[in-house]
Structure 1
Amino acid sequence: MGAQVLEPAQAAADDVLLSWEGEDVLAVRLPQLSDSLDHILAAMERRHGMPLSELDRKAKQEVVRVLEARGAFSVRHGVETVAGALGVSRFTVYNYLNRETALNREKGAESV
């Protein structure tokens, strides 16, 4: 996800210190959420073997579903970032999200 490993002496207040038997052995600097989204998008491109903008509509809808499950849209400008990566408008991303919500509601109603 883009974390950085540091020497314990280089750790800042918000870094995570890892200890072994009471001694700090390394520090981990976690990326900003927006940086994590970029890493997730890059990993998805590698998984699909092509730029996300070249995927068909169904595959793009699946990407949006996975990203929503990972919290990508809670990041500031997340919808805009994803829309740019997919080569679609923000409106299209919102449509994909609304479609997924509607499908989940239907599935929930069927199981009752």
Structure 2
Amino acid sequence: EAGPDDVVLAWEGAEVVAVRLPQLAESLDHILTALERREGRPLAELDRKAKQEIVRTLEARGAFAVRHGVETVAGALGVSRFTIYNYLNREKGR
């Protein structure tokens, strides 16, 4: 049974399967956890340059299209939302 947020796929005009996509907010949490594991320490302990690289990586993965994405990332990095926006604007200026 397809839910309201599921993607229904059709074959020759007939609906054959519904795909349930993971919630993007949950995916962001998983991405942050994976990045923390990769770095080997909490993201908040990284230096500014490393945090900027994390923001670039997350932007490329669409993390800031998620509702409250900036707030979530700011919390994980131990910085303000304003800092995240500064990092993003710096990238757009390049």
Question: Counterpart in 2 of 1:54?
Answer: 45
Question: Counterpart in 1 of 2:57?
Answer: 66
Query: 1-side partners of 2:46 and 2:79: how far apart?
Result: 11
State the Cα deviation string for residues 19-75 of structure 1 (Å, max 9, x = none): xxxxxxxx9743200000000000000000001000000000000000000000000
Please list every run of 5 or more consecutive structure 1 residues that lacks an aligned counterpart in the other structure. 1-11, 18-26, 104-112
Please list every run of 5 or more consecutive structure 2 residues that lacks an aligned counterpart in the other structure. 10-17
Question: Counterpart in 2 of 1:96?
Answer: 87
CA 1:38–1:16: 2 relative to 1, 3 Å: farther
Query: 2-side partners of 1:15 and 1:102: how far apart?
Result: 37
TM-score, normalization: structure 2?
0.81
State the number of aligned residues: 84
Question: Counterpart in 1 of 2:23?
Answer: 32
- Aligned-residue sequence identity (percent) comes to 81
Question: Counterpart in 2 of 1:43?
Answer: 34
TM-score, normalization: structure 1?
0.68
Q: In structure 2, what residue type is equivalent to 1:98?
A: N
Question: Counterpart in 2 of 1:20?
Answer: none
Query: 2-side partners of 1:42 and 1:99: how far apart?
Result: 25
Question: Aligned pair 1:77/2:68, yes or no?
Answer: yes
For the aligned residues, what is the CA RMSD? 1.9
CA 1:99–1:39: 2 relative to 1, 3 Å: same
